[in-house]
Amino acid sequence: MTCDLLIENAAVLTVDPAWNLYEPGFLAVRGDSIAATGPMAERRAWEAGTTVDAAGMLLMPGFVNVHTHIPMAAFRGACEDLDDRLRKYIFPLEARLVDRDLVYRASRFCLVEMAASGTTCFADMYYFEDEVARAAREAGLRCVLGETVVDFPAPDCPEPYGGLEYGLRFISDWTGDPLVKACLAPHAPYTVDPEHLRAVRRESEARGLPVLMHIAETTPEHERYSVSHGSVLRYLDSEGALYPGLVGAHMIYLDPSDIELAAARGLSVAHCPASNAKGGRPICPASDLAAAGVSLGLATDGPLSGNGMDMQGILGLYPKLQKVRAGNRGAVPAREAVRAATLGGAEALGLGAVTGSLEPGKKADMILVDPDSFSMQPVYDWYSAAAYAMRPSDVAATYVGGRLVWDRTGMKGFDQAEAMADIRRIADRCRGTIAELTGGAP
Amino acid sequence: MTCDLLIENAAVLTVDPAWNLYEPGFLAVRGDSIAATGPMAERRAWEAGTTVDAAGMLLMPGFVNVHTHIPMAAFRGACEDLDDRLRKYIFPLEARLVDRDLVYRASRFCLVEMAASGTTCFADMYYFEDEVARAAREAGLRCVLGETVVDFPAPDCPEPYGGLEYGLRFISDWTGDPLVKACLAPHAPYTVDPEHLRAVRRESEARGLPVLMHIAETTPEHERYSVSHGSVLRYLDSEGALYPGLVGAHMIYLDPSDIELAAARGLSVAHCPASNAKGGRPICPASDLAAAGVSLGLATDGPLSGNGMDMQGILGLYPKLQKVRAGNRGAVPAREAVRAATLGGAEALGLGAVTGSLEPGKKADMILVDPDSFSMQPVYDWYSAAAYAMRPSDVAATYVGGRLVWDRTGMKGFDQAEAMADIRRIADRCRGTIAELTGGAP
A424 touches chain B (CB under 8 A): yes
Is pLDDT of A437 > 90?
no
Q: What is the CA radius of gyration of chain B?
A: 21
B175 touches chain A (CB under 8 A): no
What one-character DSSP code corresponds to residue A429? H
Cross-chain Cβ contact B420/A374 below 8 Å:
yes
Q: Which amino acid is at B360?
A: P
Nearest to B337 by CA among B272, B388, B291: B388
Q: Which amino acid is at B94?
A: E
Average pLDDT over every residue of A191-218: 98
Are B410 and A98 contacting, i.e. CB atoms less than 8 angstroms apart? no
The neighbour count for residue B137, using CB atoms within 10 Å, is: 16
Distance from CA of A303 to the nearest CA of B (A): 9
- First and final CA of chain B: distance in angstroms? 59
pTM above 0.80, yes or no: yes
Gap between the Cα atoms of B178 and B136, Å rounded: 12
What pLDDT does A335 receive?
Answer: 96
Mutation choice for A interface testing from B114, B223, B283, B324 by most A CBs within 10 A: B324
Of A104, A175, A184, A103, the closest CA to residue A138 belongs to A104
Structural domain boundaries in chain B: 2-61+364-410, 63-348
| CA A348 to each of CA A63, A344, B139, B295: distance values in angstroms, whole numbers, following the listed order | 13, 6, 47, 45
Inform me whether the pLDDT recorded for A379 exceeds 60: yes
B/e letters for A328-362, b = 16+ CB within 10 Å, e = fewer, are: ebebbbbbbbbbbbbbbbbbbbbbbebbbbbbeeb
User: Is it the case that residue B440 has pLDDT exceeding 80?
Assistant: no
Distance, CA of B429 to CA of A297 (rounded, Å)? 38
Residue A97 has pLDDT above 50, yes or no: yes
Say which range, A160-164, A261-265, A436-440, has the weakest mean pLDDT: A436-440
| Lowest-pLDDT range of A79-83, A361-365, B22-26, B88-92 | A79-83
Q: Does the distance separating the beta carbons of B431 and A310 come in below 8 Å?
A: no
Nearest to A116 among B281, B374, B381 (CB): B374
CB contact under 8 A, A379 and B313: no
Which of A58, A287, A374 to probe the B interface (max B CBs under 10 A)?
A: A374
How does pLDDT run across B73-93, given as a tens digit for each residue? 999 999 888 888 888 888 899
DSSP B296-348: EEE----TTTSS---HHHHHHHHHHHHHHHHT-TTSS-HHHHHHIIIIIHHHH
Strands B2-13 and B21-30, by their bridges, are antiparallel
Residue A222, chain B, CB below 8 Å: the answer is no
How many whole angstroms separate alpha carbon B208 and alpha carbon B147?
Answer: 16
Q: Is residue B442 predicted with pLDDT exceeding 60?
A: no
Is the pLDDT score of A442 beyond 60? no
Amino acid making up residue B155 = P
At the topology level, CATH places domain B2-61+364-410 in Urease, subunit C; domain 1 (2.30.40)
Compare CB distances from A393 to B306, B393, B430 and report the shortest one's residue.
B393
The pLDDT of residue A68: 98
Nearest residue of B to residue A431 by CA position? B380
Under 8 Å CB-to-CB from A23, ≥6 apart: which residues? A11, A12, A382
Considering only CB atoms, B377 lies closest to which of A282, A423, A442, namely A423
Would you call A420 and B374 a contact, using CB atoms and an 8 Å cutoff? yes
Which element (helix H / strand E) includes A298?
A: strand A295-298
Contacts A423 to B, Cβ<8 Å: 377-378
Residue A158's pLDDT band, with cuts at 50, 70 and 90, is very high
Query: How is residue B265 annotated by DSSP?
Result: T
Cα A254 from Cα A257, distance rounded (Å):
8
Size of the A and B interface in Cβ pairs below 8 Å: 220
What is the C-alpha to C-alpha distance for residues B294 and B344, in angstroms, rounded to an integer?
Answer: 10
- pLDDT tens per residue, range A385-399: 999 999 999 999 999
A236 touches chain B (CB under 8 A): no
The mean predicted confidence, pLDDT, of chain A is 96
Kindly state whether B306 is in contact with chain A, defined as any CB-CB distance less than 8 angstroms.
Answer: yes
B440 close to A (CB below 8 A)? no
For residue B434, which residues of chain A lie inside 8 Å, CB to CB? 380
Give the one of A80, A324, A427 whose C-beta lies nearest to B334's C-beta: A80
Q: How far is A374 from chain B (nearest CA, A)?
A: 5
Distances (CA, A) of B166 to A221, A431, B158, B248: 60, 58, 11, 22
Strand A142-149 relative to strand A180-186, pairing = parallel
- Partner residue opposite A377 with nearest CB, options B277, B282, B423: B423
**A426: closest CA among A68, A70, A72?**
A72
CB A314 within 8 A of CB A118: no
Question: Which residues in chain B have Cβ-Cβ distances shorter than 8 Å to A380?
Answer: 75-78, 427, 430-431, 434, 442
Closest residue in A to B78 (Cα) is A380
- Closest CA relative to residue B139, chosen from B112, B116, B117: B112
Return the ∠ at Cα B309 (arms to B308 and B311), rounded to 5°. Answer: 105
> B-chain residues within 8 Å CB-CB of A427?
377-380
Give the chain B residue nearest A113 (alpha carbons).
B374
Measure the CA angle with vertex A73, ends A70 and A75; round to 5°.
130
CA distance A268 to A94: 28
SS3 B221: helix
Q: Which CATH class is domain A2-61+362-408?
A: mainly beta
Shortest distance between the Cα of B326 and any Cα of chain A, in A, equals 7
Give the DSSP letter of residue B35: E
Determine the pLDDT at residue B81: 83
> What does B122-145 look like in DSSP terms, one character per residue?
EEEEESSHHHHHHHHHHHT-EEEE
Tell whether B257 lies on the interface with A, counting CB pairs under 8 A: no
Contact (CB, 8 A) for A201 and A163? no
Q: Which residues of A touch B319 (CB under 8 A)?
A: 278
Confidence (pLDDT) at A3: 98
Judge whether A34 and A364 are in contact, CB under 8 Å: yes
Model confidence pLDDT, tens digit, residues A260-309: 999 999 999 999 999 999 999 999 999 999 999 999 999 999 998 889 99
Of B277, B329, B383, the CB nearest to A279: B329
Mutate to test the interface with B, among A81, A108, A415 (most CBs of B within 10 A): A81
Estimate to the nearest angstrom the gap between the alpha carbon of B97 and the chain centroid.
24
Contacts of A287 in chain B (CB under 8 A): none
Q: Quote ipTM for the complex.
A: 0.96
* Percent over 90 (pLDDT), chain B: 93
Which residue in the set A82, A329, A442 is minimally distant from B81, CB to CB?
A329
Could you tell me if B44 lies within 8 Å of chain A, comparing CB atoms? no
State the DSSP H helix or E strand holding residue A214, giving kind and residue range, or none if neither: strand A211-215
Residues of A within 8 A of B379 (CB-CB) are 77, 427
Q: Rounded to whole angstroms, what are the CA distances from B157 to A161, A202, A336, B131, B145?
A: 73, 73, 40, 14, 17
B392 touches chain A (CB under 8 A): yes
Partner-chain contact B388 A77, CB within 8 Å? yes
pLDDT > 90 fraction of chain A, expressed in percent and rounded:
93
Tens of pLDDT, residues B332-347: 999 999 999 999 999 9
- A24 touches A6 (CB < 8 A): no
Q: How far apart are CA B245 and CA B249, in angstroms?
A: 13
CB contact under 8 A, A434 and B380: yes
**Alpha-carbon distance values, A298 to A272, A284, A286, A312 (Å):** 6, 12, 10, 11
Q: How is domain B63-348 classified at the architecture level of CATH?
A: Alpha-Beta Barrel (3.20)
3-state percent breakdown (helix, strand, coil) of chain A, nearest 5: 40, 25, 35
Question: Does residue B182 have a pLDDT over 80?
Answer: yes
* pLDDT for the residue B343: 98
Distance CA B237, CA B249 (A): 16
- Out of B283, B391, B434, the one facing A380 most closely (by C-beta) is B434
For B97, the enclosing helix (H) or strand (E) is helix B91-97
Chain B CB contacts of A375 under 8 Å are: 113, 117, 308-310, 392
The verdict on a CB contact (< 8 Å) between B331 and A109 is no
Q: The dihedral of CA A300, A301, A303, A305: what is its sign?
A: negative
CA atoms in the 13 A half-sphere facing the CB of B418:
10
- Helix, coil or strand: residue A124: strand
Residue B441 pLDDT greater than 80, yes or no: no
Q: Determine the Cα–Cα distance for residues B26 and B42; give it in Å rounded to an integer.
A: 8
Cβ of residue B426 closer than 8 Å to a chain A Cβ: yes
Q: Which of B333, B378, B389 sits opposite A427 (nearest CB)?
A: B378
Say whether B57 sits in a helix, a strand or coil.
Answer: coil
Considering only CB atoms, B277 lies closest to which of A80, A81, A324, namely A324
B369-375: average pLDDT = 97
The CA distance from B17 to the nearest CA of chain A, in Å, is 19
Q: Cβ distance A370 to A57 under 8 Å?
A: yes
From A440's Cα to the closest Cα of chain B, the distance in A is 11
Touching check for A164 and chain B: CB below 8 Å?
no
Q: What span, in angstroms and rounded, lies between the C-alpha atoms of A267 and A289?
A: 10
3-state DSSP assignment of residue A101: helix
Q: What is the pLDDT of residues B349-358, one digit of tens each?
A: 999 999 999 9
